[in-house]
Structure 1
């Protein structure tokens, strides 16, 4: 087993949103994740956190986040207890503060995936142990860390790159991507209809970081202009969890933002990659996709099947990297 990485001084800290961290912090977490990925591929044990116990509090369903936290903790030697919304009285018969005070005495770390960002902040404030945000309505920092790890693996650098996000610019993925890019010095373009653009406060915060790190933040409405010379095209589902009643409206607003071969070619580059946080609705191989096809006559939504499975698509590298970046976050804050 290799020596425990010591180049990060984040022990005892929580990982709630990107803006809490410096460019150096995020870069080092990415580099640590790349090192840990290599250790796993080489079959090298790295169970640095034996006898530690981690709680996973999940109020929202999950595939990648839950699996990544579970495998990451197991690889590091820690024990995991999964707690869904029916296992806890979180905010119902017991306050989040009281829950934090209890769990902080029983566990060594808490992963939270849920709704209001104030919930994860309360857990972190009163738990007395590291708390990691696996997704809230406002932020998705473990996702953006995996995104930029994937980008760095492909291009061997983050310098002088441009990422274009197309779709709902208000959601947690877009907001986290924008802030993380600005901190890391990556040019970021959010391309969305005017009604679905990020809030002014988040744009201003991103531009403050971008000014510090010599990058640009652009808010655009025209997809073909937004993708020119972009190194990365990124999209997400048309309708976020909890907003399904707006599906038809979003479909009308976002059809022109679909990532297809024409849009990929419009970048003018041969090495542009495609990213998606998943799940993606690119065919009718799911019951959801079949229902949408029957109701609206659409078989591909935010991305076409051709692009999703193309050589340009790095979505499954990106999904795997959720494991390695989450492992880096756990180790850096608990190690």
Structure 2
């Protein structure tokens, strides 16, 4: 079993399936009022460089609901901000904590923490990957569709960190994934090629890129989108609005998909940009269940890693 979750490639299909099953069980038990204590006496650190609503709160609540204690650490308030080496900070935090969630800019920062830590390091978002988000997204797909095998998943918009995590998930789990992104804003070529090679060797689904959102959604069971300008790209926001305008998830695009398609957005959403208010509040939207499921998937993930 892996020590860290830096990308979804650290997990096998069996491990992911076990996570989904446990998360769904924990959600059911939570709704029944059953209290958990498997992480009693354990402490989770959250070391964040970037703003967060859902990731921070869901990890903190997850740890509390499993009987443990979370502690939030703003990176700017630590000695890291005064150039203490990661290898020093990581080894010290390993003496205090049982696991650490990192939300930062560079993927290499998370990798360095994993290298020097003796405790599990969990990627809570970097500019390159957002693995935990997609785990809870797939849990939502399973709840809505009864599984993921044979499904057609569409990604419409920027080929960003969440798109990268969906690509990795498809390469491990074998569902079909089509990503519609404008030229120049497609996912990382190395990530795509590695995923395609993994799919071919495993005999799984198909991963395709297109510039046409209609082509991506025409057979879709699931439609995903995200903001057009991620954190750190605010200066590009106005230019991106023009480039991405044809990629808006709206009623016209939805009409091209299956009648029972579900629509997902990892939030926060810029309504009337990447998704219309009509679609986000409509009958196909599962964004609120999707957001809730971060809590339950994180409980299963923390339990798996801390008690490994």
- With normalisation by structure 1, the TM-score equals 0.89
* Match in the other structure for 1:289: none
Partners of 1:220 and 1:131 lie apart in 2 by 34
Q: CA RMSD in A?
A: 1.1
SS in structure 2 at match of 1:281? coil
User: In the TM superposition, what are the counterparts of 1:312-323 in structure 2 within 5 Å?
Assistant: 312-323=284-295
1:87 Cα deviation (Å)? 2.1
Partners of 2:153 and 2:286 lie apart in 1 by 14
- The answer to whether residue 177 in structure 2 is matched with residue 179 in structure 1 is no
* Match in the other structure for 1:124: 114
* Match in the other structure for 2:184: 195
1:72 Cα deviation (Å)? 0.5
**Unpaired segments ≥5 residues, structure 1:** 1-8, 283-299
Partners of 1:108 and 1:214 lie apart in 2 by 36
**Which of 100, 103, 112 lines up with 2:102 in the alignment?**
112
Partners of 2:203 and 2:48 lie apart in 1 by 35
- The answer to whether residue 230 in structure 2 is matched with residue 240 in structure 1 is yes
After TM superposition, the structure 1 stretch with the greater mean CA deviation from structure 2, 21-30 or 227-236, is 21-30
1:118 Cα deviation (Å)? 1.2
* Match in the other structure for 2:217: 227
Deviating 4+ runs (over 6 angstroms): none
Q: Rate the CA distance shift 1:326–1:244 in 2: closer, same or farther, 3 A.
A: same
* Match in the other structure for 1:3: none
**Which of 266, 272, 277 lines up with 2:266 in the alignment?**
277
- The answer to whether residue 86 in structure 2 is matched with residue 96 in structure 1 is yes
2:113/2:121 contact within 8 Å kept: yes
SS in structure 2 at match of 1:55? strand
User: In the TM superposition, what are the counterparts of 1:12-23 in structure 2 within 5 Å?
Assistant: 13-23=3-13
- The answer to whether residue 23 in structure 2 is matched with residue 33 in structure 1 is yes
* Match in the other structure for 2:300: 328
2:75/2:81 contact within 8 Å kept: no
1:63 Cα deviation (Å)? 0.4
- The answer to whether residue 126 in structure 2 is matched with residue 136 in structure 1 is yes
1:15/1:329 contact within 8 Å kept: no
The alignment of Structure 1 onto Structure 2 pairs a total of residues equal to 306
2:199/2:205 contact within 8 Å kept: yes
Question: In the TM superposition, what whole-angstrom CA distance separates every residue of 1:106-152 from its partner, at most 9, and x where no partner exists?
Answer: 11111111111111111122110111110011110100101100000
Partners of 1:247 and 1:15 lie apart in 2 by 30
Partners of 1:214 and 1:130 lie apart in 2 by 29
* Match in the other structure for 1:75: 65
1:182/1:213 contact within 8 Å kept: no
1:281 Cα deviation (Å)? 1.0
Partners of 1:44 and 1:138 lie apart in 2 by 37
**Unpaired segments ≥5 residues, structure 2:** none
Partners of 1:111 and 1:146 lie apart in 2 by 16
